[in-house]
Structure 1
Amino acid sequence: MDKRRVVITGLGAVTPIGHSAPETWQAVRNGVCGVAPIAAYDASGQKVTLAAEVKNYQPDDFLDKKEAKHMARFTQFAVISAREALKDGGFTLENADPDRCGVIVSSGIGALQNTEDEHSRYLEKGIDRVSPFYIPMTICNMAAGQVAIDAGFRGMCSCPVTACAGGTNAVGDAFHYIRDGYADAMLCGGSESAVTPLAIGGFTTMKALTQSADPSRASIPFDAERSGFVMGEGAAILLLEELDHALARGAKIYAEFVGYGSTCDAYHMTAPLPGGEGGAKAMALALSDAGARPEDVDYINAHGTSTPLNDAGETAAIKTVFGEHAKKLAVSSTKSMTGHMLGAAGAAEALFSALALKEGYLPATINYQVSDPACDLDVVPNVGRDAELRYALSNSLGFGGHNGSILLKKWEG
């Protein structure tokens, strides 16, 4: 069977730098840093005091009070972003079969704040006073489930829980699902909200988070002074469609989705394979899946977490796959602006990659100051730039050894 073509026709986002996809993308173009002192709770007694939170967010600005009341923050972000993606794509079920429309939305942690709150309630009032909504609001799959309920999509509904690779696995799996004939349209992406005392404390004690108190020197991918990532939150949802389905309804097209690779290091709980071998295989698989050559790629939106091991390992992996062409590639990390959105990161970066292709623009790695010989690629330092782009790759590498890579192509009709 011939592989069907898949395109991106709608975008939605709630991020540390914007309450919509256009607002977020404009902030990326402006080089806005979303890192700031933690506002969700008093972090003054902690080693880590910075995060990339969604700013000035009020659920009532986007959702009915009644529906918002029984949605955790990460689910709210997902539903808001999915509604935006559908509206942006001009998509309604009047021109689609709901049984052939599905949802894949990742979350790495789900509603951890709910767990912390209900545990405190249990200790104070007793175990039988835990909220009956605790479980259905907290579980990781509920963002996907609520998006499907809200949209009326009755096809496959799933939630990859693959840590920092989850958002990329979600959009990649959705791409394959449409390409191989199982669906005509998919809402896909990721959502996360884990700026909580327990999450920040846990990531701090495992030495994953930077302890910098300076927002401009906290999330600094590829910089020699990088010292850990900054916790981010938010959601990004993409509407994918089979090409003929999109064209039949006159949809606008952001980019074509052409390749996906996913691997596992099978090596360590948190550390990547030395040299980034697993990530390299994922990139190579994405290229092979698309029938593309390494030299076709113009831009890589790197996983680029700002941890010493990740950035050096990812650089080595890129050199392994691209050889001499690696020197000609632009390789930036938008986590310098958004922080690390965990299960939503890959989805946000897929969105940025699609817009980079559509507008011919390379996002910067902001706040870059000190070069590192182990990260000696063109990281688009500090200022984004216009460029002729045809193919963009986006990488995600997660705890547990999960690796995902997607390849997008400029829409050329």
Structure 2
Amino acid sequence: MTTQVVITGVGAVSCLGTGADALWRGLLAGGGSPAPVPEPHMNMRATTMYLVPEPHPDEPKELGHVPLGIGPRFGVAAAREAVADAGLDDTRSLPVVMGVEMGNALVHEQQRAATGDIGRWTPLMVTASAVAAALGSTAANTSVGNACSAGGYALTSAMDMIRAGETDVVLVGGAEAATRVGMGGFDRLGAADPVRCRPFDHRRSGTLFGDGAAVVVLESAERAAARGATPYAELAGGAWSCDAHHPTAPDPSGTQIVRCMREALADAGATTESVGAVLPHGTGTPLNDLVESTALRTVFGDACDRLPLLALKGSIGHTAGAAGVFAAVVAALAVRRGQVPPNPPTEQDPACAVYLPQGSAVPLERPSVLVNAYAFGGNNASFLVRGVRA
């Protein structure tokens, strides 16, 4: 028997506010809006993001000699919420796995802008270490950095750690902050939408980033039951694939993302008929949305006409390495509360033949949510969040 892995705590910091409840309420209200990035030298087409409202967390300020920017601080804030939500009293032996793309890059940029030099070199990928240190953990901490699917890979890696018996509890999350380098890269690629993130909309012209952090506590069901914890949901299965078609563009055939979804369902022992909703990757880039919607129809067939999709990035922006964990938090809340929040107003592209509920939440008729997280280089991850089995 495969060890059952459950979600017992959630935490979030997003453009919709601080806390997982703020995230959920904001989604029900229609999501957030982009705002100008308060950084100099924004000489690019798209200069806005879905930004976490101030005041930002001001602790921890450093890790050893490394000054910490707001990205790692978002991660610490969300981690503390998730730990408290799960009711974990002792975090000294709690492993930490974080999906992070740009990490502490904002600190480097600000130092270089101010002085022309970054001074003493410091690493970018310090978020997992910062979270572990803030929680007093001396267990292993791992940073997963394979671009925008990092959160999905972090979650499924942590799930495998529990299944393999390496541990019975893991803190897993993702955290990102605004960076000119990250935004400028997408701008030069022509992949940034200057208006908003508009997944599956016929007007979409690229993605638009959001900052913040999302964290979950994963436990074996046996450990959770022994300490009297009430799980939100089960992380029932997951899968990875890589199409390696192009450095940035997805394979137009969608073969490997179809494979990824099907293998995630198989790993969970689930069928397409048991899935009640999908949180797609849905970046708002023209090719990605077309390929993903076509792949969804390959997997789910005509059920796509009535299977609710929540394109989360339309509400909170593309949170890069944290995106998969944000989706996991929302999926867990959807399973617990039995509903799927609405998408922001969308003028749907008829070529993207999927069901995007708008205006108000819809019932989650089957307590099972499939999540997709994709990235440059063809890195794909899918996982299933569902109601806890008796």
Whether these two folds match at TM > 0.5 is yes
Q: Is there any run of 5+ residues in structure 1 with no aligned partner, and where?
A: 213-217
Task: Give me the whole-angstrom Cα distance separating, in 1, the residues matched to 2:32 and 2:176.
Answer: 19
Q: Is the 8 A contact 2:61 2:67 kept in 1?
A: no
Task: Give me the whole-angstrom Cα distance separating, in 2, the residues matched to 1:339 and 1:378.
Answer: 20
SS of the residue 1:348 aligns to: helix
- Counterpart of 2:55 in structure 1 is 57
Q: How does 1:12-411 map to 2 (within 5 A)?
A: 12-41=11-40, 43=42, 46-60=44-58, 63=59, 70-93=67-90, 98-99=92-93, 101-120=94-113, 123=116, 130-132=118-120, 134-135=121-122, 138-140=123-125, 142-193=126-177, 195-212=178-195, 218-368=196-346, 370-411=347-388
Q: Aligned partner of 1:7: which letter?
A: V
Describe the superposition over 1:14-42 as per-residue Cα deviations: whole angstroms up to 9, x where unpaired: 11111111111111111122322333447
Q: Is the 8 A contact 1:366 1:383 kept in 2?
A: no
Change (3 A) 1:345 1:248: same
Aligned length in residues? 389
Describe the superposition over 1:49-74 as per-residue Cα deviations: whole angstroms up to 9, x where unpaired: 321111113323xx366779932211
State the shift of 1:146 in Å.
Answer: 1.5
State the shift of 1:162 in Å.
Answer: 1.1
- Counterpart of 1:215 in structure 2 is none
Change (3 A) 1:70 1:49: closer
Q: Is the 8 A contact 2:276 2:368 kept in 1?
A: yes
Describe the superposition over 1:187-231 as per-residue Cα deviations: whole angstroms up to 9, x where unpaired: 0011111x233322221110110123xxxxx21111111111111
State the shift of 1:180 in Å.
Answer: 2.0
SS of the residue 1:155 aligns to: coil
Change (3 A) 1:186 1:38: same
Identity %: 34
Q: Is the 8 A contact 1:234 1:341 kept in 2?
A: yes
Q: Report the TM-score, using the length of structure 2 for normalisation.
A: 0.94
Q: Is the 8 A contact 2:105 2:124 kept in 1?
A: no
Task: Give me the whole-angstrom Cα distance separating, in 2, the residues matched to 1:251 and 1:411.
Answer: 12
Task: Give me the whole-angstrom Cα distance separating, in 2, the residues matched to 1:40 and 1:356.
Answer: 35
Task: Give me the whole-angstrom Cα distance separating, in 2, the residues matched to 1:389 and 1:255.
Answer: 13
Task: Give me the whole-angstrom Cα distance separating, in 2, the residues matched to 1:389 and 1:358.
Answer: 11
State the shift of 1:170 in Å.
Answer: 0.7
Change (3 A) 1:398 1:320: same
Task: Give me the whole-angstrom Cα distance separating, in 2, the residues matched to 1:28 and 1:166.
Answer: 23
**Structure with the largest fraction of helix:** 1
SS of the residue 1:256 aligns to: strand
State the shift of 1:383 in Å.
Answer: 2.9
Task: Give me the whole-angstrom Cα distance separating, in 1, the residues matched to 2:324 and 2:359.
Answer: 21
Task: Give me the whole-angstrom Cα distance separating, in 1, the residues matched to 2:150 and 2:364.
Answer: 29
2:8 maps to 1:9 = yes
Describe the superposition over 1:254-288 as per-residue Cα deviations: whole angstroms up to 9, x where unpaired: 00110101111111100001132221111111101
Q: Report the TM-score, using the length of structure 1 for normalisation.
A: 0.89
Change (3 A) 1:353 1:147: same
Q: Is the 8 A contact 2:310 2:343 kept in 1?
A: yes
SS of the residue 2:334 aligns to: helix
SS of the residue 2:167 aligns to: coil
Q: Is the 8 A contact 2:50 2:317 kept in 1?
A: yes
SS of the residue 1:275 aligns to: coil
Describe the superposition over 1:113-161 as per-residue Cα deviations: whole angstroms up to 9, x where unpaired: 22223334563xxx6xx443x41xx422x11112122223343321111
Q: Is the 8 A contact 2:98 2:154 kept in 1?
A: yes
